[in-house]
């Protein structure tokens, strides 16, 4: 009888260990999935909140990947990568607003207020934004794109995501060929760069 009891206890112990081994731990990372709201990342930032440099690029890449469905428009909109119901304007500043996960689409005039101006465009890092921005840059007078990485910093060439016309582009640009534009205020406006205040 004693041997039977010991055998049953051992079996119960092994079974319990197997159940524990198969159970999820509190430190397990959540699996990435697509939710009913169309969310494409389980670790997405909140709208208007802090965001990582990697996520800024991931969000820009989402529109680039779906560029066949997104035509440039100053009035039309396209979905937030994290929500089918939230949308951003389909132009350069709307695209950058989407990549930064701002609460709404901003203009080239308003985007500078969301970042800190860099002393030099050579200081740009992944997720920064660069363009002709600020007062007097409304409409065709302004432009903006998302900086990804340097192709050759010494040569002033860099990879960026840009939506100045159909389709969304991901290509190498050159600092020296980013030309100034005449603003709506009659002044000449050159290119500057900004770092989003909530980027991490």
pLDDT tens-place string over residues 91-135: 999 999 999 999 999 999 999 999 999 999 999 999 999 999 999
Neighbours of 58 (CB within 10 A): 17
Residue 185: pLDDT band (50, 70, 90) is: very high
Average pLDDT, the chain: 85
Q: Per residue in 74-83, pLDDT tens?
A: 999 999 999 8
Q: Per residue in 13-57, pLDDT tens?
A: 444 433 333 333 333 333 333 343 445 554 589 999 999 999 999
Judged by phi (left if over 0) then psi (alpha if -120 to 50, else beta), residue 127 lies in: left
Structure tokens at 88: 């951003």
Quick one: what percent of the chain has pLDDT higher than 90? 76
Residue 186: pLDDT band (50, 70, 90) is: very high
Give yes or no for a contact between 143 and 150, defined as CB atoms under 8 angstroms apart. no
Mean pLDDT within 134-146: 97
Residue 5: pLDDT band (50, 70, 90) is: very low
Number of residues in the chain: 200
Q: What is the pTM of this model?
A: 0.79
Give yes or no for a contact between 44 and 55, defined as CB atoms under 8 angstroms apart. yes
Which domains, ranges and CATH numbers included, belong to the chain?
53-196 (3.90.1720.10)
Structure tokens at 90: 């389909």
Q: What is the pLDDT of residue 178?
A: 97
Place of tokens 């035509």: 71
């Amino acid at each position: 009888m004693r041997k039977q009891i010991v055998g049953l206890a051992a079996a119960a112990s092994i079974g319990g260990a197997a159940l524990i081994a198969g159970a999820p731990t509190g430190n397990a990372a959540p699996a990435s999935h697509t939710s009913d709201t169309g969310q494409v990342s389980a670790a997405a930032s909140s709208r208007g909140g802090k965001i990582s440099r990697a996520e800024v690029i991931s969000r820009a890449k989402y529109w680039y990947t779906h560029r066949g469905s997104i035509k440039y428009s100053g009035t039309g909109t396209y979905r937030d990568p994290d929500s089918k119901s939230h949308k951003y304007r389909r132009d350069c500043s709307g695209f950058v607003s989407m990549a930064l996960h701002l609460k709404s689409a901003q203009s080239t005039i308003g985007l500078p207020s969301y970042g800190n101006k860099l002393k030099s465009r050579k200081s740009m890092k992944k997720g920064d934004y660069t363009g002709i921005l600020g007062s007097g840059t409304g409409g065709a007078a302004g432009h903006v794109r998302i900086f990804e990485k340097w192709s050759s910093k010494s040569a002033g060439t860099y990879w960026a995501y840009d939506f100045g016309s159909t389709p969304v582009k991901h290509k190498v640009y050159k600092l020296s060929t980013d030309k100034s534009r005449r603003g709506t205020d009659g002044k000449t406006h050159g290119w500057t760069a900004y770092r989003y205040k909530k980027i991490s």
